[in-house]
Structure 1
Amino acid sequence: MAEQKKVDYKKDFKELYLPKQTPALVAVPAMPFVTLAGEGDPNGPGFAADVEALYAFSYAVKMSYKKEDVPVGYYPYVVFPLEGVWDLIDKSIPATVKSNLKYALMIRQPDFLDEDLFARFLAETKAKKNLPSLAKLTFETIEEGACCQLMHVGPYETEPESFRKMEAFCTENGYVRKAMAHREIYISDPRKTAPEKMKTVLRFTCEKIG
């Protein structure tokens, strides 16, 4: 049997994960995700615990080829990056107040994962790891549709400048931002990357005017 090609998001889905540093429009298709919801300062222990649970589950799926009952349709792949959809709890409070943030964290999953396999791998992960945030995981398909995005290079604190460029681009091209919530895709590991070299995909939904 021929060896299966490994799916690598940086090579096979460049449009979604490695955009240019200038704004562009993109149609984001429906994709399977494991997600969880939370709120509060992302620098706190609760956020770190949520991230740990998402990765623990995602690697359980990835390594399932070593099991006796390998999932039907399994193919080798690189685990997708962490993503976060960010919004404000109280819209009257500035976004700089991190305790006022709410988020939906997620990691895209391979196409062979379904509800039954989600339940199986969640149970297996809970049996191996004592991570309270595993109880918050859900499996869902998300389709963003029309979006504006770019690759933000630099610290998270300078993201507002990139968003201003994106909104100006939308205006120039006859589009309008649909909501203040936005998506971030973390291409760089903040533990290993200098702030000025951090790469984060920024994206928000938009629609054509008129």
Structure 2
Amino acid sequence: MNIRSNTLEEGLYNKNEVSIIRIPQQKFLVIYVKKNSTKFNIAIRIGILKYLSQLILMEYEKENKTKTKVACEKYKNFSLEKIRMMPNFISDRKENESCALLIRQPNFINEDYFKKIYSKAKKNSYHPILEEIEFLITGSRLCAQIIQTESTAEIKGSLEELDRYILSNNYEHADRYFREIYLNSSHEKKGRSGTRILRCNISKAADQKYKAKSNLTVDMSKSN
């Protein structure tokens, strides 16, 4: 089996409906959503997360001008990602209510620059939810993903198909969580309207050493 390895964000959305890919190190802004949060509270967190992400990019582009103009254009439409527990790992329905919300950041943004713009945002447009946002670096990991089209009735069915694909290729889940990646307008122009990516970390069934490393992603205990 060919495992795709990509460094550009848009290359991680494969044309195949189900595939196994190697995800490189990535940087994110992340905010954790507690159990029993209302839709309104989640929407506010998404809005503030997007605001800070856009502010970081705008400030970086302004400071570096022509040197990064082309580079910044590629990163202006990063999709919102949500991490939550896989249905087959849930023993209690309420356990699925917590999640983490993330937005990818360009590789040229480091933690020091994040802290600089983060402080500026809190000073100029303070909101208490800003205090909940963290800068996160995830290591390279092996993932299985499925493209869920608008014709797919439920996430559960797509995840079951993904499970069968993982098992049939002698892989297993490296942790209990999956990502929903909501494709934005930049992807819709490429004929992917109404689609999202469902992605989970995997490892070879007997590869315990890799499984331990693959868990270096998001600390979901913060959402409990």
Smaller-chain TM-score bracket: 0.7 to 0.9
Aligned twin of 1:31 = 26
Aligned twin of 1:48 = 43
Q: Is residue 92 of structure 2 the alignment partner of residue 93 of structure 1?
A: yes
CA displacement, residues 54-82 of structure 1 (integer Å, 9 cap, x when unaligned): 11111112211564x449x7442332111
For 1:112 and 1:58, locate their aligned partners in 2 and report how far apart those are by CA, in whole Å.
13
Q: Is residue 58 of structure 2 the alignment partner of residue 59 of structure 1?
A: no
Aligned twin of 2:200 = 204
Give the one of 180, 190, 198 matched to 2:176. 180
The CA deviation at 1:155 is 7.6
What is the SS of the residue equivalent to 2:142?
A: strand
Aligned twin of 1:84 = 82
Give the conservation status (yes or no) of the 8 Å contact 1:39–1:100.
no
Kindly provide the amino acid, as one letter, of the partner of residue 100 in structure 2.
A
For 1:203 and 1:21, locate their aligned partners in 2 and report how far apart those are by CA, in whole Å.
13
* RMSD between superposed Cα atoms in Å: 3.0
The CA deviation at 1:209 is 1.8
- Percent identity reads 22
Q: Is residue 142 of structure 2 the alignment partner of residue 142 of structure 1?
A: no
For 2:198 and 2:96, locate their aligned partners in 1 and report how far apart those are by CA, in whole Å.
20
The CA deviation at 1:42 is 6.8
Q: Which has the higher helix share?
A: 2
Q: Is residue 127 of structure 2 the alignment partner of residue 128 of structure 1?
A: no
For 2:162 and 2:138, locate their aligned partners in 1 and report how far apart those are by CA, in whole Å.
22
For 1:155 and 1:64, locate their aligned partners in 2 and report how far apart those are by CA, in whole Å.
39
Q: Is residue 167 of structure 2 the alignment partner of residue 168 of structure 1?
A: no
Decide whether aligned partners of structure 1 residues 161 and 58 sit closer, same or farther in structure 2, where only a CA change above 3 A counts. Answer: same
The CA deviation at 1:140 is 1.5
For 2:183 and 2:61, locate their aligned partners in 1 and report how far apart those are by CA, in whole Å.
27
Compute the TM-score of the two structures, normalised by the length of structure 2: 0.73
What is the SS of the residue equivalent to 2:51?
A: helix
Give the conservation status (yes or no) of the 8 Å contact 1:182–1:203.
yes
What is the SS of the residue equivalent to 1:112?
A: coil
Give the conservation status (yes or no) of the 8 Å contact 1:42–1:48.
no
- In structure 2, the gaps of 5 or more residues are 1-7, 207-224
Query: Aligned residue pairs: how many?
Result: 188
For 2:61 and 2:177, locate their aligned partners in 1 and report how far apart those are by CA, in whole Å.
39
